[in-house]
Structure 1
Amino acid sequence: MATTSKRKESMADRVYEALKDDIFEFRLIPGDKFSEGDVGTRLNASRTPVREALYRLQREGFVEVLFRSGWQVKPFDFQQVEELYDLRITLERAAMHKICQLPEMPQIVKTLTAIWNPDHPSERAVGSTVRALDESFHCDLVAAAGNREMTRIHREITDRLRIIRRLDFTRDDRVDATYREHAQILASVRAGRAGEAADRLTNHIRISQRAVREITMEKIRETAEAHQSWSRL
Structure 2
Amino acid sequence: MERATGERRQNLTERIYQQLKQSIFDFELLPGDRFSENEIAEQMQASRTPVREALTRLQREGFVAVSFRSGWQVRPFDFEQYEQLYDVRIVLEMAAVKRLCEMQPGPDLEELKQVWLVAPAERLDDGPRVCALDERFHQKLVEATGNAEMARIHHDLTERLRIVRRIDFTQRPRIEATYIEHGKILRTVLERRADEAQLLLKSHIEESKAEVRKITLHMIFEARQHQNKLNTSQRPEATGEQQKA
1:105–1:125 CA distance, 2 compared to 1 (3 A): farther
| CA-CA distance at 1:168 after TM superposition | 0.8
* Alignment match, 1:154: 154
Deviation readout 1:22-44 (Å, 9 max, x if unpaired):
00100001111000011011111
Deviation readout 1:48-67 (Å, 9 max, x if unpaired):
11111111111111111012
* Count of residue correspondences: 232
Instruction: Give the alignment's TM-score, normalised by structure 2.
Output: 0.91
Secondary structure of the corresponding residue to residue 75 of structure 1: coil
Secondary structure of the corresponding residue to residue 146 of structure 1: coil
Q: More displaced, 118-127 or 137-146? A: 118-127
Query: Separation in 2 of the partners of 1:53 and 1:19?
Result: 8
* Alignment match, 1:39: 40
**Preserved CA contact (<8 Å) 1:118 1:124:** no
Secondary structure of the corresponding residue to residue 105 of structure 1: coil
Secondary structure of the corresponding residue to residue 113 of structure 1: helix
Query: Separation in 2 of the partners of 1:102 and 1:4?
Result: 51
| CA-CA distance at 1:123 after TM superposition | 4.3
| CA-CA distance at 1:146 after TM superposition | 2.0
| CA-CA distance at 1:120 after TM superposition | 4.1
* Alignment match, 2:140: 140
**Preserved CA contact (<8 Å) 2:125 2:172:** no
CA RMSD of aligned residues (A): 1.2
Query: Separation in 1 of the partners of 2:206 and 2:123?
Result: 26
Larger radius of gyration: 2
* Alignment match, 2:100: 99
1:48 aligns with 2:46: no
Secondary structure of the corresponding residue to residue 32 of structure 2: coil
| CA-CA distance at 1:131 after TM superposition | 1.0
**Preserved CA contact (<8 Å) 2:125 2:175:** no
Structure 2: unaligned runs, 5 residues or longer: 235-245
Query: Separation in 1 of the partners of 2:147 and 2:3?
Result: 41
* Alignment match, 1:76: 77
| CA-CA distance at 1:4 after TM superposition | 2.0
Query: Separation in 2 of the partners of 1:199 and 1:118?
Result: 23
**Letter of the 1:106 counterpart:** P
* Alignment match, 1:64: 65
Query: Separation in 2 of the partners of 1:123 and 1:181?
Result: 13
Query: Separation in 1 of the partners of 2:128 and 2:12?
Result: 24
Deviation readout 1:8-32 (Å, 9 max, x if unpaired):
2121111111101100100001111
Query: Separation in 2 of the partners of 1:123 and 1:150?
Result: 30
Structure 1: unaligned runs, 5 residues or longer: none
Secondary structure of the corresponding residue to residue 27 of structure 1: coil
